[in-house]
Amino acid sequence: MKSKHEQGGRMKALLKILAGVAALGIVALVLALYLTARFENSANDFFGAIKAKEYQKAYGFLSKDFKATTSEEEFVAFLNRNALLAYKAASWPNRSVSGDRGELDGTITTETDGTILIRLSFVKEQGEWKIYSIQKARAGILSEDASGVTPSGSEEMALVRQTMNSFAKAVNAKNFKDFHAYVSLLWQKQVTAEQLNKTFKPFMDADLDLLFLDNYMPIFDEAPSLNPEGVLSIKGYYPTKPSRVHFDFGYIREGTEWKLVKTHVNIKPTR
């Protein structure tokens, strides 16, 4: 049996360890607040410019990729459609940072005292935090998770139909140059038009004309989902006979738009 002296010594040692762990936790919290403070300031300055109706200044807070996919006029129209022009105040209870990427999740209060759930993604460009994407949660009854950052059902359907139309045109032209310009900037940096031509050569060699799919509505195999990396996955098929055209598309948010980052198309006989 250990003596009271030994037990007291161990208790003191344990208290020192716990104090050290607590101190590390405080340091980690302070460090996280420090790292996220800069892009939180950028977010507040961004919405401050919107409140002052200085839209050109607000547009300057956007990243290069955001601006490449969204004109200033489209940007202001997006703010207007989503009631963000009525901004009054903001709170950012959730924040994260990883390298040159960061996110803020919070609530916008409007001048009519309405609330808007919103997520801002940031990227560091030349030492400054710039807004990479803006995602507003959808109101109403949602079939997706509570974050609500995926597009509406009609928007998902339009995305698939637009993607398949662009893909079909590339196959008909036997050249994926225009399709390469259609996909996300992120994917454009990873693959060339020539590489897409090689990948989809079997479709071009088969002389397929897939533009007839414009006459059909795609059917989703499952509810579109958003993975932790922010990729929206939509899988399904076109109900054609004697074969079905199956697709597996992936989209990421660039600016205010969902842009293609992955595509897989195959044709299977109908059972």
Same fold, 13-136 and 153-269: yes
Contact 200, 183 (CB under 8 A): no
Burial 72-108 (b: 16+ CB within 10 A, else e): eeebbebbeeeebbbbeebebeebebeeeebbbbbeb
Q: Which tokens in the block code for residue 61?
A: 């807070």
pLDDT band at 139 (very low <50, low <70, confident <90, very high): low
CB atoms within 10 A of CB 150: 25
Return d(Cα 227, Cα 262) in angstroms, integer.
13
The dihedral formed by the CA atoms of 23, 26, 32 and 36, expressed in degrees to the nearest 10: -140
Each domain of the chain, given as residue ranges in start order, spans 13-136, 153-269
The model's pLDDT over 143-183, given as tens digits with 9 standing for 90+, comes to: 444 344 567 677 888 899 999 999 999 999 999 999 999 99
Spatial contact of 134 and 116, defined as CB atoms under 8 Å apart: no
pLDDT score of 17: 40
User: Do residues 219 and 247 touch, judged by C-beta distance below 8 A?
Assistant: no
Q: 153-269, which class in CATH? A: alpha beta
Among the listed residues 158, 194, 164, the one whose alpha carbon sits nearest the alpha carbon of residue 263: 164
The CATH class given to the 13-136 domain equals: alpha beta
Q: Which residues pair with 134 in a beta bridge?
A: 120
pLDDT cut 70: percent of the chain above it: 80
pLDDT tens for each residue of 71-111: 888 888 888 887 888 888 888 877 777 778 888 888 888 88
**Which element (helix H / strand E) includes 176?**
none
Residue 21, pLDDT above cutoff 70: no
The stretch 111-140 carries a mean pLDDT of: 81
Q: Are 184 and 260 in contact (CB under 8 A)?
A: yes
For residues 117 and 148, the answer to whether their CB atoms sit within 8 Å is yes
DSSP one-letter code for 231: P
